[in-house]
């Protein structure tokens, strides 16, 4: 099978690779689409993402496809089934798993991060991470089940109540998904802070009520000029210490700040505990991967409530996949799907 192989930091090749041998409880998937995530870019640059990796590796953890073959003990799937994958494989037996904190599993593995994933024509995964998708959900949209699930876990922790004002920093694919989830959580006003004009335009179409260009506008002044008294939740979707500090700065008293973007390791941010946390009684939180929300993500996407057509900006054949990692122009795009 053809695959995009990460052989070393900064070094990718499209090559023919041997597919892992199918075990009794595994499913062979013919990959239809696999999304490129910030984690893949971190791995490409030799940085640790949400988990540890060993090279060579076929990255890609946001994928969907059709079942080609099943192991002898697989009961719930058969060839031809349309499926998506929760890339995280938890043991179910460790202390954390037994407390229901599966995202902190001591023995966690992840397809596309610690095991071969979906930047490939085919992929073998354990049946317990495979999910059926309904006919109303296209295979392309089903590739976004994982990032939407990560956003759902974040939104669950963002304390948004109907009528609240939410600010979202960064309108990349994650920011645009968060924007829509904030809308369905009942946010009355959604402020989007984003320097790229095309992304602000899409944010407007998807329901942002206020748009701020941080390069030409003073963000705090723009918020007060709009007569917004309270920013109740701020969601940082960039992964940059400067925008994380900005998130804390623009959060109103009693607000929740969700630091969702992934920074490079060892990044530091500064916070004034007295002025910015204590006096504001601020809740600063984060969310780690997508524990137990995959089925909710599938149901939400199948309902058609989340617009993904403006979130997905590019479909790149596997043969051309290297340029997505090396050409900086792709940084400014939305969600990019690799099509094997």
Catalytic sites, residue numbers: 39, 42
| Segment lying near Zn ion (by CB under 5 A), choices 26-34, 73-81, 94-102, 310-318 | 94-102
| Segment lying near Zn ion (by CB under 5 A), choices 101-109, 120-128, 177-185, 326-334 | 101-109
Asked if residues 29 and 85 have their Cβ atoms less than 8 Å apart, the reply is: yes
Rounded to a whole number of angstroms, the minimum distance from the CB of residue 336 to Zn ion is 12
Nearer to Zn ion, 105 or 302 (CB): 105
CA distance 248 to 283: 10
Q: How many helices (H) and strands (E) does the chain have?
A: 10, 17
Count residues binding Zn ion (CB under 5 A): 5
Please give the residues from 115 up to 154 whose contact with Zn ion meets the rule CB under 5 A: none
Task: Tell me the two tokens of residue 222.
Answer: 């723009």
CA 134 to chain centre: 21
Q: Is 110 in the site for Zn ion (CB under 5 A)?
A: no
Nearer to Zn ion, 97 or 248 (CB): 97
Asked if residues 263 and 286 have their Cβ atoms less than 8 Å apart, the reply is: no
Q: What are phi and psi of 19, to 5 degrees?
A: -75, 140
Rounded to a whole number of angstroms, the minimum distance from the CB of residue 254 to Zn ion is 31
Rounded to a whole number of angstroms, the minimum distance from the CB of residue 147 to Zn ion is 5
Please give the residues from 26 up to 55 whose contact with Zn ion meets the rule CB under 5 A: 37
CA distance 219 to 193: 8
Helix (H, G, I), strand (E, B) or coil at 24: coil
Nearer to Zn ion, 109 or 249 (CB): 109
Rounded to a whole number of angstroms, the minimum distance from the CB of residue 1 to Zn ion is 22
Nearer to Zn ion, 77 or 111 (CB): 111
Cβ-Cβ contacts under 8 Å for 308 (sequence gap 6 or more): 140, 141, 144, 301, 335
Rounded to a whole number of angstroms, the minimum distance from the CB of residue 292 to Zn ion is 13
The single residue among 5, 17, 97, 139 that binds Zn ion, judged by CB under 5 A, is 97
| Segment lying near Zn ion (by CB under 5 A), choices 19-27, 84-92, 217-225, 321-329 | 84-92
Nearer to Zn ion, 146 or 194 (CB): 146
| Segment lying near Zn ion (by CB under 5 A), choices 23-31, 96-104, 195-203, 247-255 | 96-104
Q: Is 105 in the site for Zn ion (CB under 5 A)?
A: yes
Burial (0-12, 13-18, 19+ Cβ within 10 Å), 273: exposed
Task: Tell me the two tokens of residue 129.
Answer: 């991470």
CA distance 200 to 202: 5
The single residue among 22, 41, 94, 316 that binds Zn ion, judged by CB under 5 A, is 94
Rounded to a whole number of angstroms, the minimum distance from the CB of residue 324 to Zn ion is 14
Cβ-Cβ contacts under 8 Å for 160 (sequence gap 6 or more): 166, 182, 185, 186, 187, 232, 233
The single residue among 14, 19, 22, 91 that binds Zn ion, judged by CB under 5 A, is 91
Burial (0-12, 13-18, 19+ Cβ within 10 Å), 279: exposed
Task: Tell me the two tokens of residue 215.
Answer: 């390069």
Nearer to Zn ion, 37 or 158 (CB): 37
Positions in the binding site for Zn ion (CB under 5 A): 37, 91, 94, 97, 105
């Amino acid at each position: 099978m053809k695959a995009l192989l990460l052989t070393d930091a900064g070094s990718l090749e499209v090559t023919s690779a041997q597919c892992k041998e199918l075990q009794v409880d595994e499913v062979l998937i013919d990959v239809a689409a696999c999304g490129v995530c910030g984690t893949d870019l971190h791995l490409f640059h030799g940085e640790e993402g949400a988990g540890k990796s060993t090279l060579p590796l076929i990255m890609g953890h946001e994928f969907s496809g059709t079942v080609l073959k099943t192991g002898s003990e697989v009961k719930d799937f058969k060839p031809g089934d349309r499926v998506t994958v929760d890339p995280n494989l938890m043991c179910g037996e460790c202390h954390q798993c037994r407390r229901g904190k599966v995202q902190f599993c001591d023995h966690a593995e992840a397809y596309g991060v610690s095991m071969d994933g979906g930047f490939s024509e085919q992929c073998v995964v354990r049946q317990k991470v495979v999910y059926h998708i309904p006919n109303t959900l296209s295979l392309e949209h089903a590739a976004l089940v994982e990032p939407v699930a990560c956003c759902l876990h974040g939104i669950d922790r963002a304390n948004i109540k109907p009528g609240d004002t939410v600010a979202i920093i960064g309108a990349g694919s994650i920011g645009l998904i968060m924007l829509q989830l904030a809308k369905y959580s009942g946010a009355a006003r959604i402020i989007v802070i984003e320097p790229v004009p095309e992304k602000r335009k899409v944010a407007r179409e998807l329901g942002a009520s206020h748009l701020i260009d941080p390069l030409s506008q003073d963000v705090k002044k723009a918020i007060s000029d709009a007569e917004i008294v309270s920013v109740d939740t701020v969601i940082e979707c960039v992964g940059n210490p400067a925008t994380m500090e900005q998130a804390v700065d623009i959060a109103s008293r009693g607000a929740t700040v969700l630091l969702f973007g992934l920074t490079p390791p060892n990044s530091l941010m500064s916070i004034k505990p007295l002025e910015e946390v204590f006096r504001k009684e601020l809740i600063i939180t984060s969310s780690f991967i997508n524990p137990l929300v995959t089925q909710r993500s599938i149901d939400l996407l199948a309902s058609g409530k989340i617009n993904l057509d403006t979130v997905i900006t590019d479909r790149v054949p596997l043969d051309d996949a290297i340029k997505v990692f090396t050409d900086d122009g792709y940084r400014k795009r939305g969600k990019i799907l690799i099509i094997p």
